Amino acid sequence: MPRPSQAQDQALLAAGAQLYPQLGCAALSVRRVAEAAGVNPAMVHYHFGSKDGFLRALLQQHYEEMFSALSFNSSGAREVMERLAAALFGVASFVREHRPLIARVWADAQAGEAVALEFLRANVPRHLAVLMSLTQEAEAQGRLPHQPAMSRLVFLMGAVVMPVLLVGGLQKIHALPAALAGTLESDVVSDAALRRRVEWALLALCSGV
């Protein structure tokens, strides 16, 4: 029997990407995803085995896009600080583009949803390891001072990435002061804002050289 078109796989994943941030693991149903994708609900089980299998594939697809770009930015012949800056910008850009999905994964993990916990445990160490490797390389070359590795990594993520999630959460609940809401794009989430925070964070780390 010929396998149904792979287009169904992608249609289901696209529908899931729209629905998952709103519903989370518990409320997302196979039937609702199939209806949104315009396919028979049985196709979810055919392509992914189960609802959990579908959720795993959905989350992993998004993560691998980011990790592929991160791996590319962190390698090559460029100077290590350039690669570190590009890697940080790449992670922050991914978070900006997928804020609702990332926020839902964290919420599901905190609620004890097994798929979300499994996903975070398997993947968060991967991109953190790349960033840590770059900072250690920079330290070995004398571009960064000796600093506790974990403290340095937490500082970089907090300075560059966390503002994107913070303002996204405040925006969602309409808790941003009116005077600040209008500058959200230019001051926090634009490419220029991300690059500015990367530059500031790396300058702060380099201040002890």
Q: State whether 103 and 2 are in the same domain.
A: no
Q: State whether 1 and 41 are in the same domain.
A: yes
Q: State whether 66 and 40 are in the same domain.
A: no
Beta carbons within 10 angstroms of residue 67's beta carbon: 18
Q: What would the two tokens of residue 134 be?
A: 């770059």
Domain containing 67 equals 59-206
pLDDT for residue 5: 60
pLDDT for residue 2: 43
pLDDT for residue 75: 86
Q: Long-range contacts made by residues 38-44, C-beta under 8 angstroms, separation at least 24? A: 38/11, 39/8, 39/11, 39/12, 43/4, 43/8, 43/12, 44/12
Task: Establish if 54 belongs to a structural domain.
Answer: no
Helical segments of the chain, H only:
7-27, 30-37, 42-48, 51-74, 80-97, 99-110, 114-140, 149-160, 162-172, 178-181, 184, 191-206
**Residue pair 128/37 in contact by the 8 Å Cβ criterion:** no
CATH number of the domain that residue 36 is part of: 1.10.10.60
Triad 74, 91, 97: Cα angle to 5°: 140
Q: State whether 177 and 106 are in the same domain.
A: yes
Q: State whether 101 and 30 are in the same domain.
A: no
Domain count, the chain: 2
**Residue pair 158/92 in contact by the 8 Å Cβ criterion:** no
Per-residue pLDDT of the chain (209 residues; tens, 9 = 90+): 445 566 899 999 999 999 999 999 999 999 999 999 999 999 999 999 999 999 999 999 999 999 999 999 888 889 999 999 999 999 999 999 999 999 999 999 999 999 999 999 999 999 999 999 999 999 999 999 999 999 999 999 999 999 998 887 777 777 777 777 778 778 888 999 999 999 999 999 998 65
pLDDT for residue 1: 41
Q: State whether 83 and 37 are in the same domain.
A: no
